[in-house]
Each structure stands twice: as C-alpha cells, then as structure tokens.
Amino acid sequence: MHAGPVETTALAVLPIAWLWSTGTVLGDGWLLPALGAVLTMALVAALARTLMPAFVATGVAALVGVGWITAVSAPDEALLGVIPTPESTRVSMSALGEGVQAIAWALRTPIEAEGAVLAAVVAGAVVLALGVDLLGHAMRLPALAVLLAAAPLLLPIAFRADIPWWHALPGAAASALALAGPAIDERVAIGRGWVAPVALVGVAAALAAAVPLVAPSPRDVALDLPTLEELLRTPTPVLQTDIDLGDELRRPEPRQVFTYSTSDGLPIVTRLMTLPEAGEDGFRQVEAAAGAPDVLVEGADLGVPMQLTVRMSPVRAESLPTPERVAGAAAPEGAHWDDANDALRIEGSVETDGLEFTSSGTRSPELASLVGDASTGHDELTALPERAERFRELGGSLVTAEMGTADRIRAVHAFMTTGTWDYSERLDLPGFAGASGDGWEALEGFLETRSGYCVHYASATGALLRGAGVPARVVVGFLPGDEITGGRSVTTNHMHSWAEAWVDGAGWVRVETTPGAGTGEASPEGDEQTQAPTPTPTETAAPTPTPSATQSAAPTTAPTASASPSAPGVAEPGAAAIDWAVLRPWLIGAAILLLVALPFLVRQAQRAARLRRGAPGGWHELRAALADAGTRLPASATPGEVRAAIGARLGDDAEARSAADRVRLAAERAVFDAGPRERGAVDADVRIVRRALARSQPLWRRALTTALPPSLMRVVLPVEE
C-alpha cells in the first residue's frame, strides 16, 4: 500500500523542515538549491512509483539527487552541468570532503553556505531525502523516517549554538503531519472528517514551539555531543582563537600542535593571535591588515634577543606560533604578517605537517622589575564599550592620578591575584552559557565569584587595565609545553590566553593573572601574588625539534583553552559525596536506552491490556500484529477481511490459520455474550498467530518492527464489543 497525498507531502518537506533548524550554524544561503533538490527528487519518485516498484523509484530519485550534487559542486566538468563524468565525480568528492571539513572544523558561526560548504549541505539534503523516501515510502516506516530527518538538529547542538524556537518549529510540524498523515489520508478516502487529526498536528506543533521557551538551551546544559572529528578520530586539531566568555571549557584530548627549540635553551610562551578590540561581547580580533614592519610586535626589540625554531604537526589554524614578543620571522610560503592583530597568518590551503620556520623576538619582562611612567601612542586601546562601564569604574578605582604606568599595571595585577581566585572549567554564573546575557555580563559574574579559566582572567585583566588608563589587549597563544629530547612539545591543551599592556620603554608586557598560569591551583590568601612560572634552562642544546612518536593529533572545535585541569571539588566531612560528573553519563545513557526501548515497552503493555479483555481483545491484538507485519487495513475492515489478510500472510501454516479462526470465533461469540469474559482463553492461540506473522517477515524488518512497532503509529480500532 502506497502513502496518500498528505503523508507524501509531509515526508517530502521533512528534510528541508529539519535542515532549517541549522540556521544558527549554516545560515540560509543553502535553502534554494537544497529545496530544489529535495522537491524534484520527491516529484520524480512519486511519478516513478506509478510505473515501477517503490524501491526502484527510490533509486531513480537517487540519480536525480546525484545530478543536483554534481550541478552544485562540479558543473564545468559534467555533461550538461548535471550528468556525472569521471572527472566531475573526482571534483565533486574533493569538494564534498572540503565542505564537510569546513563545517566540522569551522572556527566561527554562522558558516557561509557557499562553494564546498554549499555542496556539502546540498549533499546532506539529498541523503536525508533518500533516507526519508526509502523508509517512508519503500519500507513504509514513516516514524523511522521522521527520526532520520530530525538528524540536522544535532548540528547546532554539537556546536553548542542556541536554537531559536521558530527554527525548530517547521521540523516539528512536518514530523507531526507525517505521523498523522496515514490517518488523514484514510479518513479523506472514506469520507470521514479529518479536522481532528489536523488539530492534533497543530497541538503537537504548538507544544514543540513551547518546549524551547521552557527547556534549557544547548549551552545551558553540561552535555557535549561528540563532534564529527571526535567520532572519526581525524588527525588534525583545530586552533580556535576566538574567545567566548559565556561558554564552558570543552577540553579536547591533548594532541600535538608543534615542537620547538630556542637559541638559549629556555622555554617560552608563544603567540598565536592578538585580540586588540574590546567589542560588545568581549575582546576580539579585527579585520586583518597585511604589513611588513621592521619589528613585527612593537617593543619586541627591547629585551634580550632569542630565536625560536618551530616544527608544526598537522593542524588547521588561522595563524602560526611565534615568540610572545616577535621581532621578525622567516615566514613560510603561504604565510604573511597581519599587522592589525599581530599574527603570522597562514592560508587554509597550506599543509602544516612538517612545516618548519624560524622567528626571533624577546621575552616579556617581570612585572616586579618593570619601570616606566607613560604609555603613549595607543590611546585607542584604552576604549571600552558602554556594557563594560563597570570595568572602567573598577579599574579607575584601583589607581591614583599620580601613579605611573608600571605602578598602574602592578595595581591591577595585585587586585587580580590577591585573595582566593579559583581556576574552574565549569561555570554557573549570570550571563554564562546562555542567550540571556552577553560577554561583559558573564565577566562581571566572574569577578563576583572569582572562578573561571584563562579567557576570563585575561579579559578581566585587560578591561581593568583599560579602565586604569593603560593601553591593553588580550593575546591567545600557548604555554611553554612539555620538555622532550632536544626541545619542547606543545599540545592543544597548552592553549592559553593572557593580557598585554603597553609601557613606553618596555613595549608590550605580559600581565599574567590566571592562577598558577594554568596549573589549576587557587591563588594564595593574603598579600601574596600568583606569578607566571619562571622558565628553567635546559642542559641540552637546542637542535631542530622533532615530533614525539608517541603523540598524535585529533581535531577539536573547542574554544580557547588554557592548560589547566579543573580543580577537584571537596566534600564536607562526614558527608556522602556524589560525583555527578561520573554519574551524569550513566544517567544520560540510561535515559537514552529507555527512550529507545519505549516503543517496545509500550507495545508490550498494550498487548497485555488487550489480552486481559478476553477474546475481543485477543482479536484486536491480532489486528495490531498484522499491522506490525506490514499489512495495513482500513479501520472499517470487516472480521472476514481481517481473517483473509491474516491467512494471506500465514500461507501454508495450518496451525496458525486454525488458531486465528478460533480467536475470531471466540471474539464473535463474546459480542453476543453478556456474561463475564474468561481471561486467558485465547492467549495461546494469539501467541501462535503472532509468532507466525513475525516469521513471515524478513529478519531485518522483524528487528525494526520490534524496536518501533508500526501498529503504534497507525489507527487500529478494536472490534465491536
């Protein structure tokens, strides 16, 4: 039996309806080509089913989908722009691979849906449309088709992006319509009213729209879905230099980024990107400006010179690591200096694996020995937005008019390191991890609780320095890393951020306030200050570094992270501590298992309830078992028609056919018998018929109908009692 017009229409729009929920990640530039692909596939499949079997029609729709993918990804190499050729197939596969990587490893959202990304999105829409067509039309399992079509909803959740309720509404409404479609089509066919099923669809859509208003956003919950790269274990880490003050730290598994050696054998903090602008949501980079100054970072020539030799591992990044105060660099091919953000930019097409280059620079001076009374030439780096007015006021209150620049820096540093400050990767503060606050509100919450990680310490320090009248900015880079033979190794978990302040005569000076510079320890009580770790010289020379053979890399879309583990919680004496971090995955797993098993459990409870009603309930159960076996009858089918359908499914199984006859006769007698009904009288016969109907199906379908019984989604009315 084929799907009716309402069900067909609902299934056709399902892929686009649920893809719309990805708007926060992919925007809407993909809509027209994806809509064209899905609708033409649905139309061709519907026409083909009038002439050929359902599975063959799905294959025809697949050919149309391949044509759309070819037209988007490799039209110049294809015949007529849509017919694949060996050359166009190669170009298409390459474009799809690039598009998937660009989406999975995007450094920011929304991702521009153009070029390879557009090809990947259209290919995803085609795959969803084929899956829905196969499950909903060929296999007649619309509920599974709905589950498959809702897969795009995982994309914004994996990116921890807030989903506006109206983005999920079309998918919820189309899903409800697809599930109610068979009942609507049947009622229309027999002339019965269809208002009630449509009203149920409206109620379901309204409830779906209300859920996001009361449910926490993906960023509000401590649930991180595995990203594509974590599932595929791709060997390329991504270095994200954005700062999200409202997000929790999602630390990736440590993966090697680069190895290095220095000319003096000492460890060094390395720069990746500068965030010079205090924007509406926090510190951020500005539009890149190519340049080639004599000294790359101002003031880098004010100190003891050193040389850094870097050997990269496979990574994806916007820029390459340099000394914290880089004076010059032998930029490799495909790299250029970004004078606006003080970063050695690298083109995305450059292969980083094994890339080796050198740069020179100096280390930042210790704050205790810092001298300088002025900071000129960088007045624009004292600006703060209106939302950060509290930081201007607080920074100004920490200093006096008579203080010089060096003393102002030390005053802000003392405020940020005196007393107890905790390093924590789990945040529960106003403005954090939700749509209700912005970055500066999140930073205010950080100052109130004194608990956060490096991006919060760096951003708060930079804002307070600006409030104190000192030009300041935030830097994203790496801590010195771990010692290896001939140099040091830096991993993704060594990513760190800190504030820099400008002092005439000293240049840009690192102002480190993260507790232990990322050791995860709370800073000491009293007047002591938490200083950056003092580098210790190595006794070995500094040859060209080589990567450790035991370290590998995997991609991560995690935000900027420092190298600090979160501090463990302490239970009260005598109290039984519950480690929710350990318990949570088990609870989530149990909930998922229960959700998966729910249709099976409901079906079992339904069977037991029917059999308790005696023979009429037993006959009703046989109708449901017939629906599970794939034979769908209208609700108005007579007992004789049901018996004939059961007989057609059972074939030569005489025992089962006789058992079905006995159940039918018992049910008909019960209609005219006003006395009490004997429970269990037909249970054995129902069991025989039900098992025979199950055996009449292929093994794969038997497994599917056990997990998701079709009778739960279809109207199966009991016989008259």
Q: Can you give 285-327 as a three-state secondary structure string?
A: CCCCCECCCCCCCCCCCCCCCEEEEEEECCCEECEECEECEEE
Query: What SS3 class is residue 494?
Result: helix
Q: How far is CA 9 from CA 48, 186, 190, 595, in A?
A: 16, 15, 20, 28
Structural domains counted in the chain: 3
- Structure confidence at residue 306 (pLDDT): 94
Cα dihedral 272, 278, 282, 283, rounded to 10, equals: 0
Higher pLDDT, 490 or 695: 490
pLDDT, residue 525, reads 35
Lowest mean pLDDT among 223-237, 369-383, 474-488, 568-582: 568-582
Q: Which residue has the tokens 């991702």?
A: 111
pLDDT tens digits, one per residue of 133-145 = 888 777 777 777 7
Does residue 84 sit in the same domain as residue 124? yes
pLDDT at 160: 67
With bands split at pLDDT 50, 70 and 90, how would you rate the model's confidence at 562? very low
* Domain boundaries, position 80: 5-220
Q: Would you say 606 and 713 are in contact if contact means Cβ atoms under 8 Å apart?
A: no
Last residue of a domain, one of 486, 517, 548: 517
* Average pLDDT value for residue range 373-399: 92
Of the chain, the end-to-end C-alpha distance in Å amounts to 29
Question: CA-to-CA distance for 410 and 468, rounded, in angstroms?
Answer: 11
Ranges assigned E (strand) in 187-235: none
- pLDDT at position 8 is 80
> 189 and 257 in one domain?
no
Domain-located, residue 535: no
Q: Do 471 and 604 share a structural domain?
A: no
Per-residue model confidence (pLDDT) at position 706:
81
Highest mean pLDDT among 68-72, 356-360, 529-533, 564-568: 356-360
Domain boundary among 190, 220, 250: 220
Assess if residue 474 is contained within a domain: yes
Query: What digits encode the pLDDT tens for the residues 270-316?
Result: 999 999 999 888 899 999 898 888 899 999 999 899 999 999 998 88
pLDDT band at 206 (very low <50, low <70, confident <90, very high): low
Q: Is 403 helix (H, G, I), strand (E, B) or coil?
A: coil
Instruction: Inform me whether the pLDDT recorded for 719 exceeds 60.
Output: no
- Please tell me the distance from the alpha carbon of residue 635 to that of residue 716, in angstroms, as a whole number: 6
What's the rounded mean pLDDT across residues 182-206?
A: 66
Task: Please check whether residues 504 and 650 belong to one and the same domain.
Answer: no
Q: Do residues 115 and 164 both lie within one domain?
A: yes
Angle between helices 615-628 and 580-611 (to 10 degrees): 120
pLDDT digits (tens, 9 = 90+) for 574-602: 333 444 455 556 767 777 777 777 788 88
Amino acid making up residue 167: H
pLDDT at 357: 94
Residues shown for the chain? 721
Range name among 116-125, 261-270, 274-283, 533-542 with the lowest pLDDT average: 533-542
Between CA 519 and CA 494 the distance in angstroms is: 11
Let me know if residue 623 belongs to a domain: yes
Let me know whether 211 and 271 are in one domain: no
pLDDT for position 500: 96
Q: Which residue has the higher pLDDT, 715 or 167?
A: 167
Is residue 359 in a domain?
A: yes
Asked if residue 119 lies in contact with residue 92, where contact means CB atoms within 8 angstroms, the answer is: yes
- Transcribe 117-144 into DSSP letters: HHHHHHHHHHHHHHHHHIIIIIS--HHH
The mean pLDDT value for 204-209 works out to: 62
Q: How confident is the model at residue 536 (pLDDT cuts 50, 70, 90)?
A: very low
Q: Minimal CA–CA distance to 118: which of 40, 29, 16?
A: 29
In a domain, 605, yes or no: yes
Q: Is residue 534 part of a domain?
A: no
Identify whether residues 189 and 243 lie together within a single domain: no
> Same domain, yes or no, for 255 and 165?
no
Mean per-residue pLDDT, 678-699: 81
- What are φ and ψ of residue 238, in 5° steps? -110, 130
256 lies in the same domain as 340: yes
Reported confidence tier of residue 549, pLDDT bands at 50, 70, 90: very low
pLDDT value of position 97: 83
Domain finish residue from 169, 186, 220: 220
Rounded Cα distance, 219 and 160, in Å: 5
Are residues 180 and 267 part of one domain? no
Instruction: Give the per-residue pLDDT at 263.
Output: 93
The CA distances from residue 420 to 417, 447, 457, in Å, are: 8, 11, 13
Domain presence at residue 675: yes
3-class state of residue 203 by DSSP? helix
List pLDDT tens digits, range 33-74.
888 898 898 888 888 887 888 888 888 889 998 999 998 888
Asked whether residue 135 falls in the same domain as residue 186, the answer is: yes
Q: How confident is the model at residue 670 (pLDDT cuts 50, 70, 90)?
A: confident
Mean per-residue pLDDT, 516-540: 38
* Mean of per-residue pLDDT scores for the chain: 77
Q: Examine residue 562 and state whether it is found in any structural domain, yes or no.
A: no
Task: Out of 79-88, 234-243, 500-509, 703-712, pick the least confident.
Answer: 234-243
513 lies in the same domain as 655: no
Judged against a pLDDT cut of 50, whether residue 538 lies above it is answered with no
| pLDDT of res. 435 | 38
Reading the block at residue 184, the tokens are 């609507």
Q: What is the mean pLDDT of residues 234-242?
A: 69
